[in-house]
Amino acid sequence: DAGVTQSPTHLIKTRGQHVTLRCSPISGHKSVSWYQQVLGQGPQFIFQYYEKEERGRGNFPDRFSARQFPNYSSELNVNALLLGDSALYLCASSSLVETQYFGPGTRLLVL
Amino acid sequence: QQQVKQSPQSLIVQKGGISIINCAYENTAFDYFPWYQQFPGKGPALLIAIRPDVSEKKEGRFTISFNKSAKQFSLHIMDSQPGDSATYFCAASRKGNEKLTFGTGTRLTIIP
């Protein structure tokens, strides 16, 4: 069975640019969450989507946005990139209320 | 505000020994407490989870102990093996809310 998949695996951008990260959940899972993991820290919650509706948003600026598609895949968009946006971006999917399964992440480096 | 505090930051245990990682939470609305294992370059993998209606849960070599009154929970890894060397994160979430609040992580190293 395929787990959560994310693309791309690595990405290098420069300050001020825009980036789009993609996530495909485990088949049958309708909820997708996004987390940012800065090196040496625990993941921080960014967004959660369920059935294409935003269910929650973490303490991140409006430069961060996301959406979920009818096939339950999701995109995370970040505008006007800052050096501090360099991190591992994780996508997690779930079907049950509380069990989340994470993908391998997208490593973003902003120069 | 850090709602889940994790200790120690790093831990070195001899092969065959017991590894113990502790977490404390502040929000009494938390109702679900998972532990994740993360290897370098990989996403976190769910290891074991507990709800506050039980004080202990065991799966193989991994055990969660939960103390609701103290708002603390811990992970015990019995017979620790070199393959257990990884970073471990505790987390918590509220009932019906999937947002996970993570601890700061513990880097575990098992030495021969």
pLDDT tens per residue across span B89-109? 999 998 666 789 999 999 999
Q: Are B75 and B106 in contact (CB under 8 A)?
A: no
CB atoms within 10 A of CB B18: 13
pLDDT band at B5 (very low <50, low <70, confident <90, very high): very high
Is B28's Cβ below 8 Å from some Cβ in A? no
- B-chain CB neighbours of A41 within 8 Å are 104-105
Is A30's Cβ below 8 Å from some Cβ in B? no
Closest approach of B89 to chain A, Cα-based (Å): 7
What mean pLDDT is reported for chain B?
94
Is A39's Cβ below 8 Å from some Cβ in B? no
pLDDT tens per residue across span A44-59? 999 999 989 999 999 9
